[in-house]
Amino acid sequence: MSSSKTTTARLLHVDGLKAAAAQLIVLHHLSAYGPVAEAMQALLPQLMAWAYQYGRMAVQVFLVVGGFLSARALSSRGQLLEGAVPELLWRRYQRLALPFMAAVLLTLCCSALVARWLPELVPFQVSLAQLLAHLTLTQGVLGYEALTVGAWYVAIDFQLFAVLLGLLWFSRGLALPRGWRRVIGPALVALLMAASLLFFNRQSGLDNWAPYFFGAYGLGALVHWLGLVGPQRRLGVLLLTALGLVALLLEFRERIALALATALLLAWLQQRHAEQRAPLSPAAARPWLAHLGTHSYALFLVHFPICLLCNALLERHDLSQPASGLLAFVGAWGLSNLAALPFHRWIEAPAGRLRLGALLARLLPRTLRA
């Protein structure tokens, strides 16, 4: 658990959003798959119907927060992009893909254990090409069946980061005064965000590509930059709100409404943080928020194999009593959160510390290293 000094330095409001989104996604998958879901639907039908219908939309929170954190990492004070593009892109890839592939392999191992009882929840067969597509985060665009839940999100997250990085790199290379180049980057992000909200996000056939989701991601990125502009911040937030409302009037989408609400909440919480006002969370809850936020990606990756095992246990022993379903549900939820601890410590955190990108950057053209 983090110390009080550590949590003070963290963005606890961001941790809270990430933690809540991760827990809702676990709840959604527990309401969607296997005998545990069937037992809980019989026991708590309204709650499970809500979790199934709306829990998956928590991904929009991840998208907004992801855009905010990526913009903050690439342009922390509104400066021009610093660093070698290949190294930045590779670092993002290894932080996403290495833990993801570990989760895929864990899911395949658990699938082999439970296939006898849950054949509908495991892949019929796995090919080398399918594994390579997952390794390169192209399984969606190449049409391969996902080997674990949430695989599409990991691939989209990497695409979105690459697009944001590309826009900032392009603006850095323009032959404009330095001050203008600093403005052009966020302006290009805003243009693509508007195009996504008004057009790309309305084309369901594009849901394996970054432009479909860039509306939510761009909202988060712009919240970061608006927090740096001082008096113009309020006008910028109003313009973001107006654009979001126009997009919803054009075609109402609950996921976009949630993304807009998340961005506005994040802007308000970030302003409170910038003003050094006390966090809204009780002091006793802050270490827990930091802990859950830190482990949210690990939980996102590791919960499905745990759910498979709990579902198989319920199916194998034919535990048809409602109490058994509730116990399996609570057990799967609790064990998923526990499994996230070693997964983060031994897999996710070491993957983020690897520095293979520096070597890659030296091997690529000077224009990308500039």
Q: What is the pLDDT of residues 77-109, one digit of tens each?
A: 998 898 899 999 999 999 999 999 999 999 999
pLDDT surpassing 50 at residue 6: no
pLDDT surpassing 70 at residue 362: no
Give the three-state DSSP class for 125: coil
| Residue 321 Cα to chain centre, angstroms | 36
Residue 229 sits at φ, ψ, to 5 deg, of -95, 0
259, 216, 253, 223: which is closest to 238 by C-alpha?
223
C-alpha to C-alpha distance for 128 and 194, rounded to whole angstroms: 39
Residue appearing with tokens 């057990």: 331
Q: Which two tokens stand for residue 178?
A: 């330095």
Given a contact cutoff of 8 angstroms between Cβ atoms, the answer to whether 185 and 218 are in contact is no
Given a contact cutoff of 8 angstroms between Cβ atoms, the answer to whether 304 and 148 are in contact is yes
C-alpha to C-alpha distance for 120 and 147, rounded to whole angstroms: 13
Given a contact cutoff of 8 angstroms between Cβ atoms, the answer to whether 121 and 34 are in contact is yes
| Residue 189 Cα to chain centre, angstroms | 19
* Mean pLDDT computed over 3-27: 81
pLDDT band at 329 (very low <50, low <70, confident <90, very high): very high
* Mean pLDDT computed over 63-76: 97
**Predicted confidence (pLDDT) per residue in 208-265, tens digit:** 999 999 999 999 999 999 999 887 899 999 999 999 999 999 999 999 999 999 999 9
pLDDT of residue 10: 79
Contacts of 99 (CB under 8 A, 6+ apart): 297, 298, 301, 343, 347, 348, 351
Least confident of 148-152, 192-196, 281-285: 281-285
Question: What share of the chain has pLDDT > 70, as a percent?
Answer: 93
pLDDT of residue 370: 53
Least confident of 209-223, 283-297, 319-333, 353-367: 353-367
Q: Which two tokens stand for residue 237?
A: 């937030």
C-alpha to C-alpha distance for 272 and 257, rounded to whole angstroms: 23
Least confident of 126-140, 250-264, 351-365: 351-365
C-alpha to C-alpha distance for 169 and 341, rounded to whole angstroms: 36
* Mean pLDDT computed over 198-207: 97
pLDDT surpassing 50 at residue 7: no
CA atoms within 13 A on the CB side of 260: 21
pLDDT of residue 150: 95
pLDDT surpassing 90 at residue 267: yes
pLDDT surpassing 70 at residue 270: yes
Question: Mean pLDDT over all residues of the chain?
Answer: 91
Q: How far is CA 296 from CA 26, 101, 210, 329, 351, in A?
A: 11, 17, 22, 19, 15
Q: What is this structure's pTM?
A: 0.92
* Mean pLDDT computed over 112-138: 95
First-to-last alpha carbon distance for the chain, in angstroms, is 40
pLDDT of residue 175: 81
pLDDT surpassing 70 at residue 305: yes
pLDDT surpassing 60 at residue 158: yes
pLDDT band at 359 (very low <50, low <70, confident <90, very high): low
pLDDT of residue 281: 85
Q: Residue 275 CB: number of other CB atoms within 10 A?
A: 7
